Structure 1
Amino acid sequence: MRTKQELTEAIRRDKRVVLLVNAHSRRGQQLYEAARKRLVASRFDLLGAYRIDRPQDLEDRLQDALALSPDLLVVGGGDGTISTAARLLAHRDVALGLLPLGTTNNFARTVHTPLDLDEAVATLVDGKVIDVDLGEAGDMLFTNHVGIGLSAEVMLKAPRPLKRVLGRFAYPLTALGLLLRQRPLRAVVRADERKHVFVTYQLYVANGGFHAGRPITADAHADDRLLVAYPVGGRTRLGLLRETARNAATGHRRTLGDEPFLATGELWVETDRPARVEVDGEPCGHTPLRIGLHANALRLMAPADTPDL
């Protein structure tokens, strides 16, 4: 494995890049060709370019891309696409470059990647390689979060046309439609030799600093060796709605020391009945579940001023 500085220098010198864009992400179909042209204009040696029109082809095309031996794999898509790429790049001597083309782009926000396409490409040209943590839910690595309960139902049932039109606002609208058919979970979280019990419609475990395009807290990020578990609301539907609004409005000024956040390196989640689980927007079975961390598992091309712990 090269050092981060050596990999940064290799990318700037040799510019060996492969591009992969998920056309099913919110802006992927619209911006694939623009992304390809901008990489060529930036004098990258484009070893290959893949537009993914069928989601089931994503992992195979990622493997094809890695077989070309790039120093930088540039992936355009939403959190699910980027999380899939991160799993394949974990512990490899290849950096991941981000083109945030999804609905909420939580991981890109966490690592300070610009959401504008031109600025994101400029980060690939002028940025530096850092390493960030990956979470692990069961045996599935993830970049940003695990959702247990209502959010998993929403991810499965949010209509794609609604996401294309409304972006991140498609999720709360879908949640409102599902909420009347849900009942709260009794969730037991075991961490650091302590047991925490929550009665809630929704439990999250975050590796990054954003959820639904909003900050979780002011001091959560993807390189702090911490997972952050927290319920949203209590046993009433009104409490869920109130807490969701509060989180969206105040996340930027809350800290990990505030209630109800539980910051830890590893935890186990059990619920009073099997509850659906989603990992970065992708289905991941049911509870019970162990969630842990792989520290510094992913190399990432980030803006040059990004802190690297």
Structure 2
Amino acid sequence: MRTKPELSEAIRTERRATLVVNTHSRRGRRLYERARDRLTSAGFKLLAAYPVDVPAELEQSLAAAADLGPDLLIAGGGDGTISTAARLLAHRDIALGLLPLGTTNNFARTVGIPLHLDAAVAVLADGKVIDVDLGLVGSRWFTNHVGIGLSADVMLRTPPRLKRATGRLAYPVTALTLLTRHRPLRAVVRAEGREHEFVTHQLYVANGGFHAGRPITADADADDRLLVAYPVGGAPRRELLRHTARNAATGHRRTLGEEPFLAVHQLWLETDRPAPVEVDGELYGETPIRIGLDPNALRIMAPADSPDR
């Protein structure tokens, strides 16, 4: 493994990169050609470029791009695309470059990548390599969050026909339908010698500073060696809606020291009944689960003034 300064210098001088864009999404399809042109204009030698229109082929295309041995693998898409790329590049001598082309772009926001395409390309050209933490649930790395409760039930129960007809709107529609009969979970979180109990419809464990495109707290990020566990409301269903709105409106003013946040290095989570788990928006088993951190597991190209612990 090269040092981070050595890899940064290689990217700035050699400009050897590969590009993978999720063109299944509307923004990815619309901006793919422009992204490739901007990267070429910035001096990047693209060893290969992969527009991926079939979601099932994304991981294969990312693996092919990495196997070409670039210094920088540039992934264009939303949080699902970035999370897949991050799992592939963990502990490898390749930096991940981000082109935020999704709806919420939580990981890009967390690590300070501009959401405008031209500004994001400028970071790839003139930034520096830093490393950030990845979360671990079982043996699976994640960039953003683990969700237990309603969010996982939505992933499990959203009808494919509704997704084809309405796209992303299928998820909130399904959530509102499920919430009318959703039973709250009694969740126990054991961490650092203490036990915490929540009765809630939704529990998140985050590795980063953003969720649903909004800050979780003012002092959470992806390089702080901390996981942030928090319920969204209590047993009454109306609290889930009210607390979701409150978190979105006030996250930038809250801190990890406030309730209901638990900032820990690792945790064990169990529920009063087996509950489905979603990891960065993909289904992953059931509770009970252990969630931990893999510090400095991923190298990314970030703005030149980014902190790097």
Q: Which interval holds the TM-score relative to the shorter structure?
A: over 0.9
Q: Is 1:92 matched up with 2:96? A: no
Letter in 2 for 1:145: H
Residue 114 of structure 2 corresponds to: 114
Residue 195 of structure 1 corresponds to: 195
What is the total number of aligned residue pairs between the two structures? 305
1:160-203 per-position Cα deviation (integer Å, ceiling 9, x unaligned): 66456x7xxx7545422321131100111110011111000000
Q: Matches of residues 116-131 of structure 1 in structure 2 within 5 Å?
A: 116-131=116-131
Task: Tell me if the contact between 1:89 and 1:96 (Cα under 8 Å) persists in the aligned partners.
Answer: yes
1:250-287 per-position Cα deviation (integer Å, ceiling 9, x unaligned): 00010000000001010011011111111111111111
Of 160, 163, 170, the residue aligned with 1:159 is: 163
Q: SS at 1:159's partner residue?
A: helix
Identity fraction in percent = 73
1:74-110 per-position Cα deviation (integer Å, ceiling 9, x unaligned): 0011111111110110011100000111121100000
Residue 298 of structure 2 corresponds to: 298
Residue 238 of structure 1 corresponds to: 238
**Using the alignment, how far apart are the partners of 2:66 and 2:24 within structure 1?**
21
Unaligned residue ranges in structure 2 (runs of 5+): none
Letter in 1 for 2:292: G
Residue 206 of structure 2 corresponds to: 206
Unaligned residue ranges in structure 1 (runs of 5+): none
Residue 12 of structure 1 corresponds to: 12
1:92-150 per-position Cα deviation (integer Å, ceiling 9, x unaligned): 11000001111211000000101111111111011110000000011110011111111
**Using the alignment, how far apart are the partners of 2:152 and 2:180 within structure 1?**
15
Letter in 1 for 2:237: R
CA positional deviation for 1:26: 4.7
- The TM-score, its normalising length taken from structure 2, stands at 0.95
Letter in 2 for 1:188: V
Residue 272 of structure 2 corresponds to: 272
**Using the alignment, how far apart are the partners of 1:279 and 1:72 within structure 2?**
25
**Using the alignment, how far apart are the partners of 2:82 and 2:108 within structure 1?**
9
**Using the alignment, how far apart are the partners of 1:183 and 1:30 within structure 2?**
41
Q: SS at 2:83's partner residue?
A: helix
Runs of 4+ in 1 over 3 A off after TM superposition: 160-164, 170-174
Residue 79 of structure 1 corresponds to: 79
CA positional deviation for 1:24: 2.3
1:43-76 per-position Cα deviation (integer Å, ceiling 9, x unaligned): 1010000011111111111111111100000001
Task: Tell me if the contact between 1:26 and 1:102 (Cα under 8 Å) persists in the aligned partners.
Answer: no
Residue 248 of structure 1 corresponds to: 248
Letter in 2 for 1:9: E
Q: SS at 1:27's partner residue?
A: helix
Task: Tell me if the contact between 1:26 and 1:103 (Cα under 8 Å) persists in the aligned partners.
Answer: no
1:199-250 per-position Cα deviation (integer Å, ceiling 9, x unaligned): 0000000001000000000000000000000000000111111111110110
**Using the alignment, how far apart are the partners of 1:299 and 1:16 within structure 2?**
16
Residue 134 of structure 2 corresponds to: 134
- The TM-score, its normalising length taken from structure 1, stands at 0.95
Specify whether residues 118 and 162 from structure 1 end up closer, same or farther in structure 2 by C-alpha distance, changes over 3 A only: farther
Task: Tell me if the contact between 1:148 and 1:203 (Cα under 8 Å) persists in the aligned partners.
Answer: yes
**Using the alignment, how far apart are the partners of 2:303 and 2:105 within structure 1?**
16
**Using the alignment, how far apart are the partners of 1:78 and 1:270 within structure 2?**
30
Task: Tell me if the contact between 1:208 and 1:220 (Cα under 8 Å) persists in the aligned partners.
Answer: yes
